[in-house]
A and B are shown apart, each in its own frame.
Chain A
Amino acid sequence: MSVVTERLRFGVVGCGAFSTVYQLPALSRAAAGQLVAVVDTDRAWATKVATRFRVPESYSDHRALSGRVDAALVATPNATHADIVCTLLEEGVHVLCEKPLATTRAEVNRMLDASARTGSRLMAGHCLRFSPNLGMLKQLVSADWLGPLTEISGGIGGGYDAGRTDFRRQRRLSGGGVLVDLGIHLIDLAIWLAGEAPLSVRYDGHAADGWEVETDAEVALGFSSGARALLASSFTHPLEPALNVRGQDGWASAPLYRPGELSFFSRRARICERGGVQHIMLPDTTMYDRQIEHFCDAILTGKPFTVRPNEVRAAVDVVERCYSNGQRAEG
């Protein structure tokens, strides 16, 4: 494990649209992080990105980060995460890896084992947890303001944006379709809010013409508490991007891409008795900034990550069960 300074030296592996639009700007703003290198298999692109974000070094191979950085953000195609992350962990680099951490349980276990063995820390980038409204939603569920949970529902997705690499169409790189790419956000949130792994998993997927993987997916999860989750994701049509939680005494709804808004009603809440539904307004900070801040803070102080290994395992387990139960994508 590397000895870290007060400011983590960061490298970013994978300079696709997601990195350049969200993560690199967040890292550039981070007080506890210092962007020192970017890596992309397309060296010319890496150099261009480095110039744009004023990053001193650029490489085409992630192994070049060894000894140069304290931490790395891995944002490469899903199926490549495991090998890259394990290599970095072995080199003593702490890793924040984009979701899904991996596409199979075996890979997740391999990565977590590598982290435990080396002492280099690994966090899955389930960034929506760091959205202010979803963080607040977790707080009010934990404080029992809604009563025992009965239902979690949500949707995510819209028209597919091919991006620079268009890797999501290719199973070899993506490891699956919309379920593992976008749906896993909602699966993770459901597991986080329910506080347990689901007992039952039902899945329905469909692949649009020209796709190797499913482009539309619906998952129903059943929890031991009796709560259930109904989650939909799509690459082909816009779904209302929101997470809704219903308890025996109330409900809350958080739009996924308006992080400062949360609607809430509870029969238990004094303020709702006469005032009705409350629209709570939260600081409009980006989830990426907060995620980086949390990751750096956890590394520098030794605090645990908000995203726990057992939750990451549970989320990937759901995806694997969906894909292996014979109801996978039909063309």
Chain B
Amino acid sequence: MVGDEFGVREVLCGLARSTNLQACLAGLWQQADQLRWFSASPSRIIIQVGQAFRPALALDTAASLAAFLADRIPQCAIEILDTAARPDEWPGLARREVRAEDALFVSGVAATEGLLVPGFWFESFALITVAAAHPDPHTRFAAVLDAQADSLRRLPNGHPWQTLVYEAHRLAPSDLVVVCGHARWNDIGSEAWWVVGREDLRVEQAVATAAGIEVPQLPALRAMARHEVLPPAPRLTGSLPELKGYLAPQWQARVLAARSGADGLRRGVAHDLRMARRNLGKVPHFVRRQLAARGKG
């Protein structure tokens, strides 16, 4: 969405009581604008809302940003990708869906046997992800990386979560990322907070650190580090409270990781069997070709 690399390391933080949420959001969008994060003026923006945890705060944040962008870039078409939304939930905004019939199968990096991606990823648009941070039994903590993978999860991709999270980051990373929550998870009486940035990994790092988990221990970032060098720590502007209740128990993540490993092994064996069957299926055709060649002779 931006025309240059300005402000990639920068991560904006906002903090507000429930009485002044809108004012705080307006201030954040202004700050982002001053950093020229909206300067490229795309003709089309898709705002995707994280589906795993979808509180009112995330919806209000997405609505506020959509309104700001409609005013700031009037010629831009803004679409909402929010699968769980009711039909009347986003008045005035075009809805974008992930449909299996439009999906394309592409080769992957983590998904070595390939994966289905939404057809609209082949179109031209700027992508904004709005996600509410939350505890996750697999990854202990989930925010933007998990939300980016929602579109891949909507398709019949049977890959482990870390594969989809990495492929979504590789193939359709967000141009702008907004993560939100309350100081105590799911407690709307506590202060609301937002982290806004241009790079998914840096924003994830910033929020995870505030939630009390060191980056090397965060499963999602560890999965990323198998494929690319993680960026240096973000430069925070504004303050972020200590986040409480955002981490799922470590033992649970370990048990699920072991189960996922066993599933992976099972999938590998099934894949090998499929390939063997496919190769055997080619034998009759090969024999027919040979017979035809002999017949010609």
Contacts and interface: CB of A to CB of B under 8 A. Distances in A.
A268 B123 contact: yes
The secondary-structure label for the interface of chain A is mixed
A162 B296 CA distance: 9
Residue from A140, A271, A280 having most chain B Cβ neighbours under 10 A: A271
B283 interface: no
Given A25-B288, A278-B106, A268 B121 contact: no
Nearest to A284: B278
B172 A279 contact: no
Nearest to B44: A270
Which of A162, A264, A280 has the most chain B CB atoms inside 10 A of its CB? A280
A90 B285 CA distance: 36
B124 A281 contact: no
Nearest to B113: A281
Given A25-B285, A280-B106, A271 B172 contact: yes
A164 B288 CA distance: 15
Contact of B107 (A266, A268, A279): A279
A282 B105 contact: yes
A302 interface: no
A269 B123 contact: yes
Contact of A269 (B124, B293, B296): B124
B210 to A, nearest CB: 27
A3 interface: no
A274 B169 CA distance: 9
A270 B170 contact: no
A100 to B, nearest CB: 22
Given A21-B288, A25-B285, A281-B114, A270 B123 contact: yes
A242 B202 CA distance: 42
B282 to A, nearest CB: 10
Nearest to B173: A274
Contacts of A162: 296
A20 B295 contact: yes
Contact of A145 (B106, B122, B125): B122
Contacts of B62: none
A268 B104 CA distance: 17
Given A17-B296, A271-B117, A279 B123 contact: no
A163 interface: yes
B128 interface: no
B288 A280 contact: no
Contacts of B276: none
Contact of A271 (B121, B289, B296): B121
A88 B173 CA distance: 58
A275 interface: yes
B106 A269 contact: no
Contacts, number: 62
B280 interface: no
B124 to A, nearest CB: 4
A308 B1 CA distance: 43
A225 B117 CA distance: 32
B127 interface: yes
Looking at B120, B170, B171, B172, which has the most chain A CB atoms within 10 Å of its CB? B171
Contacts of B293: 17
B292 interface: yes
Contacts of A21: 288-289, 292
Contacts of B106: 271, 278-281
Interface in B78-107: 104-107
Most buried by A among B105, B125, B296: B296
Contacts of A48: 295
A264 B125 CA distance: 18
B276 to A, nearest CB: 15
Given A270-B125, A270-B127, A271-B122, A164 B296 contact: yes
Given A268-B124, A269-B121, A269-B122, A274 B296 contact: no
Interface string A149-174: 00000000000001110000000000
Nearest to A281: B105
A279 B117 CA distance: 12
Contacts of B285: 25
Contacts of A145: 122-123
A140 B119 CA distance: 11
Nearest to A268: B124
Contacts of A20: 288, 292, 295
Contacts of A52: 291
B121 A270 contact: yes
Given A275-B170, A275-B171, A279-B107, A17 B292 contact: yes
Interface in B137-195: 170-173
Interface of B: 104-107, 114, 117, 120-125, 127, 170-173, 285, 288-289, 291-293, 295-296
6 contacts: A25-B285, A268-B124, A270-B121, A274-B173, A278-B106, A279-B107
Interface of A: 17, 20-21, 25, 48, 52, 140, 145, 162-164, 264, 266, 268-271, 274-275, 278-282
Given A270-B124, A274-B172, 6 more contacts: A20-B292, A164-B295, A164-B296, A266-B122, A271-B121, A280-B104
